Amino acid sequence: MTSDVLALSLALIALILAQRPPTERHTFGFERTEVLAAQANGVLLIVSAIAIVVEAARRLENPQAIDATGVLIVGGLGLAVNVGSAVVVARAAHGNLNLRAALWHLASDALGSLAVVLAAIGTVLFDAERLDAIASIAIAVLVVVGAWRLLRDSARVLLEAVPTGVDVGAVRTALTEQEGVEAVHHLHVWTSGAEHTALSAHVVLSGPLSLHEAQERSVALKRVLAERFGIEHATLEVECHACIDDEVHALSPSAHEH
């Protein structure tokens, strides 16, 4: 329970920090604070699972009698509280790595409480003193699996890997298929903050175009990215062989004087 309080406190602090606006020193803001919190909680889950396995192994060697009635009551109350809390957090956990980490802590608690209930029932019905330790090890394995997924997903964000479910080849093809697009290069797709997909690319347009026309095509391409791939944050560097406004500026006498 101490580790759970620490984990949920860490998630809450990260959630508050992530909402702070960007500053001159942190121009991207603080959204990745949630990613760091998720990674820390993943490590905390693994440490907790190891501690459970070590204690369970000791109890397998030296079974200890338990007060089945008291354990059943405490386990039932714990199961109800953890399931209720997990349901509340789950409503906001979609698309947020930090809240998913908190959800895994609550889910592991619920599983632990379920193991306690099963151990109490097994003790009453079958006098199975080792059932508690066996159930604990099984739950610890499930916790490690969840923790590994959290560490993997948070590492992908920190390494700016392509988000799961986004096909870079399909994105490139969708852009190049648009009218007036000759080529796409320097295409980068990554996750910014709490799983918000971002994109940057250089797009070569067929010209000549005015700067206004080039900007209109850029807006149209961003609309395609948002509608087809859900990429709302896109930065496109528009290039063309000869922009009309640039040619006029280059031929202007005042331009040569400057």
Task: Check whether 248 has a pLDDT greater than 70.
Answer: no
Q: How far is CA 141 from the centre of its chain?
A: 22
Over the stretch 83-98, which tens digit does the pLDDT of each residue have?
Answer: 898 888 888 887 788 8
3-state class of 64 per DSSP? coil
Single-letter amino acid code for the residue at 222: K
- The residue ranges of every structural domain in the chain are 2-158, 168-257
Task: Check whether 14 has a pLDDT greater than 70.
Answer: yes
Give CATH superfamily name and number for 168-257: Cation efflux protein, cytoplasmic domain (3.30.70.1350)
Which has more pLDDT, 5 or 171? Answer: 171
- Single pTM value for the model: 0.71
* Closest to 144 measured CA to CA, from 54, 60, 57, 44: 44
Single-letter amino acid code for the residue at 174: A
Alpha-carbon span 109 to 179, nearest angstrom: 54
Number of H helices, E strands in the chain: 9, 3
Lowest mean pLDDT among 48-62, 65-79, 234-248: 234-248
pLDDT at 167: 94
Which has more pLDDT, 95 or 16? Answer: 16
CB 258 within 8 A of CB 224: no
* Closest to 39 measured CA to CA, from 161, 145, 148, 193: 148
pLDDT at 1: 67
Confidence label for 241 from pLDDT (cuts 50, 70 and 90): low
Residues in the chain: 258
3-state class of 60 per DSSP? helix
Percent of the chain whose predicted confidence (pLDDT) is above 70:
91
Task: Check whether 42 has a pLDDT greater than 50.
Answer: yes
Report the CATH fold assignment for 2-158. Answer: Alpha-lytic protease prodomain-like (1.20.1510)
48-66 mean pLDDT: 86
53-66 mean pLDDT: 85
CB 105 within 8 A of CB 40: no
Task: Check whether 252 has a pLDDT greater than 60.
Answer: no
pLDDT at 5: 79
122-136 mean pLDDT: 80
Task: Check whether 10 has a pLDDT greater than 80.
Answer: yes
Task: Check whether 15 has a pLDDT greater than 60.
Answer: yes
Nearest-5° Cα angle at 254, 251 to 255: 55
CB 24 within 8 A of CB 119: no
